[in-house]
Structure formats: C-alpha cells, structure tokens
Structure 1
Amino acid sequence: MTWGGLQGIQVFNKNYPHDPNDKNYKERERIFARINAEKLGSQYGVVSSVGTSCKK
C-alpha cells in the first residue's frame, strides 16, 4: 500500500517500469491490483480487499 502514494514518482518507475519485458513487471501489476482492490473495497482481478471498506 505504501507504493500507492508513490506510483507516479521516479523511484517507483525505475524499480517497477511499465515494460512487460522487465523482471519487476509482474510485481508492478500486483501492486496496482492491490491498490485498486483496496480502493474499490472489492475484488480486482484475482486480488480481494483485505480491510473493511469505509462507508461512503
């Protein structure tokens, strides 16, 4: 979740480039899936939210 606030900065893009051929690409996809699942409060792809959603 920490990467959620850092996803647009240089260090994130350096460590997790948007390049399917990079060794960390799957980790990048996992990070984005976790962020989206928690934001939505539901399943995103194969990732489910862990916490309880806030009432909207």
Structure 2
Amino acid sequence: MLDRDSRSVFLVDMNQKTAKLLNKYAELKGVSSKQIKREWLVLNEHQKDQKRQEILKELVK
C-alpha cells in the first residue's frame, strides 16, 4: 500500500479538472477510474492533448 506522500507524487501530473474528466470517462466506459488515470499518466503532453479531445467528443455524445 502506498503512503500518502507516494500517492501525491504519483498524481502530480493531473489537475482536478483532468481528474474529474477522467472519472466521468471511466464511468461512461464502465472501467476503473484508477486504470484510466494510470494510462493517462504515462502519456506525453501531445498524447494527453489528443486523448483529452477524444474523451471530450465521447462525453458530448
């Protein structure tokens, strides 16, 4: 189990707005939000921008 400090370092690349977006997307897809967030954190900035646009398009439908 991770302690509190380890988790804060792990999630440092994600702001609250992004976290909410990913949570909504995970709920829509029926998958774990933790898994979606893990996948998000390994993306570079360009990939994050592309993924964010894809997610927004799906959430608007």
Larger relative helix fraction: 2
User: What TM-score do you get using the length of structure 2 for normalisation?
Assistant: 0.32
User: What TM-score do you get using the length of structure 1 for normalisation?
Assistant: 0.34
